[in-house]
Amino acid sequence: MIGEFEYLILTAASRLGEHAYGASIRAEIESATGQPCSVGALYTTLDRLEAKGFIATRMGEPTPERGGRSKRLVRITASGANAASEFFRAVSRISQGASWVPNRANR
């Protein structure tokens, strides 16, 4: 099973679609968690996910707003989507009945 940071990256990449790359994934994770996301952690995890076959990356074209540097574009693969979905299901299952789950009172 993937780790929670890997799940965050996979989910962010999936939401961003073709606009998924280092900076946009970082911004997405930071806005969702409210925690800073380090570049080192992001890139080493991207490598790990790619080695596992959960994502595919390629270098984009250099852009002026990046000082003429390329983006590392990220695309989530089918097995990556499966892994993220499995993680989400596991988290959902184990969360049922937990005191901090909002819909507990309604059941």
Partner 1 sequence: MISRICWALSLWLSQALEPSERDAAIGDLVECGESGTTALQAVLGLTLRRQAAAWEDWRMWLLFAMVLLPLSFSLSLLSQGAAQESAVYTWMYANNWDWTLAKSSGFWYVFADAATRLFLSLLAIASWSWSTGFVLGTLRRHTLQPSRTLMFLLLALFQLGNLPQRFALFVMYRYGPRNLPALPDANAPVSAIMLYNVIFPWIVLAISVGLPMILGITDGERSSRLSPRWRFGVLLAVVTTLAMLPQVRGFGLFLGASTREWIWQHPGVARSLSLITYWPLLYIIATRMTRHGRAKVVAS
Q: Which residues bind partner 1 (CB under 8 A)?
A: 21-23, 26-27, 38-41, 43-44, 59, 62-63, 65-67, 69-72
CB of 59 or CB of 90, closer to partner 1: 59
DSSP string, 51-94: HTTSEEEEE---BGGGTSB--EEEEE-HHHHHHHHHHHHHHHHH
Q: How far is the CB of 26 from partner 1 (least distance, A)?
A: 7
* Minimum distance from residue 67 beta carbon to partner 1 (Å): 5
Helix, strand, or coil here: 21? strand
Decide whether 67 or 97 has the Cβ nearer to partner 1.
67
Nearer to partner 1, 41 or 81 (CB): 41
Q: Among 95, 97, 71, 76, which Cα is nearest to 8's? A: 76
Minimum separation from the CB atom of position 53 to partner 1 (A):
19
